[in-house]
Structure 1
Amino acid sequence: MKAYIFPGQGAQFPGMGLDLFEKSVEAQDMFKAANAILGYSITDIMFEGSAEDLKQTKVTQPAIFIHSVILSKLLGDKFQPDMVAGHSLGEFSALVANKVLSFEEGLQLVYKRAMAMQEACELQPSTMAAVLGLEDEMVEAVCAETEGTVVAANYNCPGQLVISGDVKAVELACENLKERGARRAMILPVGGAFHSPLMEPARKELAAAIENMTFRKPICPVYQNVSTFAVTNPEEIKKNLVFQLTSPVKWTQSVQNMIKDGATEFIEVGPGKVLQGLVKKIDRSMNVSSAEVF
């Protein structure tokens, strides 16, 4: 069974999407539509901007979403998913590819999400840190006993977990985790504490937009970050999406459940190969590849 997976923030690179634009009229139409929806030329930044330009949350998130969705669209009849999943932001790409939302609806939500997250980041100094070489339970225990707000945010693969919270608490947790035997515990260059309680203002803002949108029945099950199990009910998909911003990304558990349900091949749709690497670390026997159009 084929599982199509969609990357999140961090997969961006200068020049992303230019090859799609140059080789496909359909892609050109979708890129132009994206510029119109956003009210500025994101294609200029994607095609010609620097890595620094692409790093801003309000640019990164729509750029990765646009790239992933256009790529899935250009696959045409080759896009035959038995199941889909997306890592954080990638869940929105997965829902559009899965016919739950239209391209326009998805992009509107992604842009609102990006702006809301940016605003939430500005309310309180916050950050994230990658922790390598410890059991998940140990990381969770250290977070729980650390003063301030710090939680497990991304379960990327066994032995690789990202924590998130206010700056002081994350720094303190990193020190404690190193003392407990972490191979590495390093602060990440991100704008704030994504997937933590500090994103509550952004969650509320995004929830209103999601609630006002009609979600359609997907063409195949989606394994969401919050629940990790196969979901096909539009209202359940909507509920999980609302809580995604303040809940951890349970990627390890989602991939394990997809494999348990029959996935034998994982195809990454979007920029980069990060998710393929994570899948291999979760189960080395899996076939992984990038979606190829041309």
Structure 2
Amino acid sequence: MNAYIFPGQGAQFSGMGLDLYKNSPLAQKLFEQANDILGFNITDIMFEGSAEDLKETKVTQPAIFLHSVILAKTLGDSFKPDMVAGHSLGEFSALVANGTLNFEDGLKLVSQRALAMQKACDMQPSTMAAVLGLEDSLVEKICASTEGVVVAANYNCPGQLVISGDIDAVNKACEALKTAGAKRALVLPVGGAFHSPLMEPAREELAAAIENTVFSKPICPIYQNVTAQAVLNENDIKANLISQLTAPVRWSQSVQQMIYDGATLFTEVGPGNVLQGLVKKIYRDAETTSATLS
């Protein structure tokens, strides 16, 4: 069974999507449509901008979404997913790929999500940290006993968990985690506490936009971050997507469930190959590949 997986924030690179634009008339048309929808030429930043330009939130999330979704659309008849999943932002790409959202609505939601998250970040200084080499349950326990807001945010693979919260609480938790034997507890260069209760203002803002968007019957199940289970019902997909901003990304659990349900090949669609690496750490014998323009 073919599982298609879609990356999230952090996968961007200067020049991303340019090969698609040059080699596919369909890709060119969709990129131009994206410029119109967003109201600025995101293609200029994707193709020629610096790494610093691409880090701007209103650019990063739509850029990764566009790279993934347009690549999926150029695959033509060879794109036959039995299941899909996306890491955080990548869930929106996956929902366009499996027919739940159309291209325009998906891009609008991603743009609104990026702006809502930036606003929430501006309201309270907050951050995230990567924790390596500890059991998930111990990380959760230390977060729960730390004063302030700090929670498990991304279950990336066994022994790699990202925590999220207010700056003081994350720093305190990192010290406690190192004392408990973590190989590393490293604060990440991000501007906010994604997938934590501090994203509640963004969740409320995005919820309104999601509720007003048409979701169609998907062509195959999506394994959503919030539940790590196969979902086919449009209303359930909506509810999980709304919860996603303040809930953890259960990537490790999602991949395990996909394998249990019969996934034999994981194809990463979009910039980079981070997800393939995580899949291999979750299940060493998994077969992985990158989607390429057909």
Query: Which TM-score band applies after superposition, normalised by the shorter structure?
Result: over 0.9
Partner residue in 1 for 2:117: 117
Partner residue in 2 for 1:264: 264
Q: CA deviation at 1:59?
A: 0.6
Q: CA deviation at 1:268?
A: 0.1
Partner residue in 1 for 2:129: 129
Partners of 2:133 and 2:63 lie apart in 1 by 32
Q: CA deviation at 1:293?
A: 1.4
Partners of 1:262 and 1:99 lie apart in 2 by 21
Q: CA deviation at 1:56?
A: 1.2
Q: CA deviation at 1:244?
A: 0.2
1:246 aligns to what SS in structure 2? coil
Partners of 1:187 and 1:58 lie apart in 2 by 22
1:164 aligns to what SS in structure 2? strand
Partner residue in 2 for 1:39: 39
Partners of 1:57 and 1:142 lie apart in 2 by 30
Partner residue in 1 for 2:167: 167
Partner residue in 2 for 1:183: 183
Partners of 1:76 and 1:104 lie apart in 2 by 19
Partner residue in 1 for 2:242: 242
Partners of 1:130 and 1:65 lie apart in 2 by 24
Q: CA deviation at 1:32?
A: 0.3
Q: CA deviation at 1:57?
A: 1.4
Partners of 2:57 and 2:174 lie apart in 1 by 24
Partner residue in 1 for 2:279: 279
* Structure 1 gap ranges (5+): none
Partner residue in 1 for 2:59: 59
Give the 5 Å matches for 1:139-178: 139-178=139-178
Partner residue in 2 for 1:70: 70
Partners of 1:134 and 1:200 lie apart in 2 by 28
* Structure 2 gap ranges (5+): none
Partners of 2:180 and 2:88 lie apart in 1 by 28
**Cα distance per residue 1:116-169 (max 9 Å; x no partner):** 000000000000000000000000000000000000000000000000000000
Partner residue in 1 for 2:209: 209
* Match status 1:198 vs 2:191: no
State the one-letter code of the partner of 1:64: I
1:14 aligns to what SS in structure 2? coil
2:164 aligns to what SS in structure 1? strand
> Post-superposition, which runs of at least 4 consecutive aligned residues in structure 1 deviate over 3 A?
none
Identity rate, percent: 73
Q: CA deviation at 1:213?
A: 1.0
Q: CA deviation at 1:58?
A: 1.1
The two structures have a TM-score, normalised by structure 2, of: 1.00
**Cα distance per residue 1:228-253 (max 9 Å; x no partner):** 10000000000000000000000000
* Match status 1:290 vs 2:290: yes
**Cα distance per residue 1:17-63 (max 9 Å; x no partner):** 00000001111100000000000000000000000110111110000
Q: CA deviation at 1:290?
A: 0.2
Partners of 1:202 and 1:18 lie apart in 2 by 31
Partner residue in 2 for 1:91: 91
1:30 aligns to what SS in structure 2? helix
State the one-letter code of the partner of 2:78: K
Partners of 2:227 and 2:213 lie apart in 1 by 21
Partners of 2:196 and 2:183 lie apart in 1 by 23
Q: CA deviation at 1:214?
A: 1.5
Partners of 1:282 and 1:160 lie apart in 2 by 10
Partners of 1:188 and 1:78 lie apart in 2 by 37
Over aligned residues, Cα RMSD in angstroms? Answer: 0.4
Partners of 2:92 and 2:130 lie apart in 1 by 24
Partners of 2:77 and 2:63 lie apart in 1 by 24
Partners of 1:278 and 1:34 lie apart in 2 by 30
Partners of 2:233 and 2:268 lie apart in 1 by 24
Partners of 1:199 and 1:106 lie apart in 2 by 20
Give the 5 Å matches for 1:9-24: 9-24=9-24
